[in-house]
Structure 1
């Protein structure tokens, strides 16, 4: 059986509906089945004592049926399955990710800040899932769906340039090809923090030379994928800046941002890493976090 595109269906919210729409389009573009997952365990329900479980389960079944109808109305003929899980959302999504092409989530749990994701199931899933995770928020650059470019931008991808970009670039180029979008690759760099012996100040660098070196590095990293996907229009930026700042700024004029998950399992931010976490929290369009 083909691996599915999995979408988490939460209690009725705009972000959950947008996630269903995005996942339906992605499944259609990839000729993959769509699996709608709702975890109902622990959902609050205003019900007489003893009936909470039944009503929570029934409400979840209703959400899944409505989401299925929405997906089929958007993409008639799409293979759609539903899964009502007696578990907490994080555990249910982790299990669903084991055999998924990708997991798609909305931004439920914003903590009262409509453009900021705080400690949500989406963040946890992006940090730990075995497959790419898409966090969907309203796309300001264009439609972002249906395989056609919107009124602005395309796919924006962050490039580290240190040998850990293969999975990220493969996803970004493939998505740009499937959706008929241009690709813009951003590589942010900083001066190395090195001091010489018996020196209290950093060594002096020639910014032009270092900038040229990073331009060459970016070109080398992209060369193989450009040859593999000649139909994708590629532009690049190598800039002395903070990677998260550049990607968040670029998200305002693109339809999708692709970042790698480069954090350490026991680091302060977990596997998500500081750059990908900042982009997921602050981007102005959907973000894909790819395990690297």
Structure 2
């Protein structure tokens, strides 16, 4: 049996965009769906009734999905991570428990994206459906990016969408006397090297997923800028989770943070 899709819910103001996205994904995966609300204290009757109404709505809209609604004890950050410990996927709205209109550093959603054992999808209420332009994935060309590419290819196949693989690169800077100056490069050689990295990163993936139409592009640009720009009109952006494990956001690096906050479609953050 497929592991469940878990979605965080705030019964006082149900995050319908995230819940609906999670329900659609559970249907595509043929997996169960768990609606989870984390409570720091006892749940009041109104809160419980609203969670029950959300369960009723989702179950009616997706009769093919087994839906469960759960009230779990604890602060939202840790309670949601615990609830999703054995899940296939954790889905959260960008507002989180703090009620912010956009995702902010330190929010429940950003914390979960940095620390969850499973992939996390963050859904902004104003970018829930994305578009039909397909799935976008950012790669650096490292050996350990297999889980990121696997998630992106599988997501594209499940939705019968094309996949765009983006490798953004820039010239490294060296320190001069009081200035940062680019060293002298043969531009064609540098570009060719990054094209080679991208080709190697995709080696074997097209053969494993012959039904996914793939476009690969190596572009001289900032990774976050390119992926946020590419998110417009697309159904999903996929990024890897990497960074210093001792940092404030675990292994969630600066590019992934920026994409999670500013992408114009749902964002999947995949542990590597």
Please give the TM-score of this superposition, normalised by the length of structure 2: 0.91
Aligned-partner Cα distance in 2 for 1:206–1:138: 45
Aligned-partner Cα distance in 1 for 2:87–2:145: 21
* Cα offsets for 1:129-162 (capped at 9, x unmatched): 000000012465x945xxxxx5x41101001102
Report if aligned partners of 2:93, 2:125 keep a CA contact under 8 Å in 1.
no
Greater C-alpha Rg: 1
**2:131 maps to 1:132:** no
**Within-5 A mapping of 1:38-49:** 38-42=37-41
What is the CA-CA distance between 1:109 and the residue it aligns to?
A: 4.7
**2:230 maps to 1:250:** yes
SS at match of 2:124: coil
What is the CA-CA distance between 1:99 and the residue it aligns to?
A: 0.4
**2:99 maps to 1:119:** no
SS at match of 1:174: helix
Other-structure match for 1:3:
3
What is the CA-CA distance between 1:174 and the residue it aligns to?
A: 0.2
Aligned-partner Cα distance in 1 for 2:259–2:150: 19
Unaligned runs of 5+ in 2: none
Aligned-partner Cα distance in 2 for 1:20–1:182: 24
**2:36 maps to 1:37:** yes
Distance of aligned partners of 1:113 and 1:252 in 2 relative to their CA distance in 1, 3 Å threshold? farther
Aligned-partner Cα distance in 2 for 1:124–1:116: 11
Report if aligned partners of 1:176, 1:183 keep a CA contact under 8 Å in 2.
yes
What is the CA-CA distance between 1:195 and the residue it aligns to?
A: 7.8
Aligned-partner Cα distance in 2 for 1:62–1:222: 49
SS at match of 2:40: coil
What is the CA-CA distance between 1:62 and the residue it aligns to?
A: 2.0
* Cα offsets for 1:165-214 (capped at 9, x unmatched): 10000000000000011100110112234689xxx965311112111211
Aligned-partner Cα distance in 2 for 1:143–1:137: 9
Distance of aligned partners of 1:12 and 1:156 in 2 relative to their CA distance in 1, 3 Å threshold? farther
What is the CA-CA distance between 1:115 and the residue it aligns to?
A: 4.1
Unaligned runs of 5+ in 1: 43-52, 145-149
* Cα offsets for 1:51-70 (capped at 9, x unmatched): xx3xx342332232122112
Aligned-partner Cα distance in 1 for 2:49–2:97: 24
4+ runs deviating over 3 angstroms: 11-14, 109-118, 192-196, 200-203
**2:245 maps to 1:265:** yes
Aligned-partner Cα distance in 1 for 2:209–2:78: 37
Aligned-partner Cα distance in 2 for 1:114–1:211: 40
* Cα offsets for 1:36-94 (capped at 9, x unmatched): 1111215xxxxxxxxxx3xx342332232122112212211311112111211111111
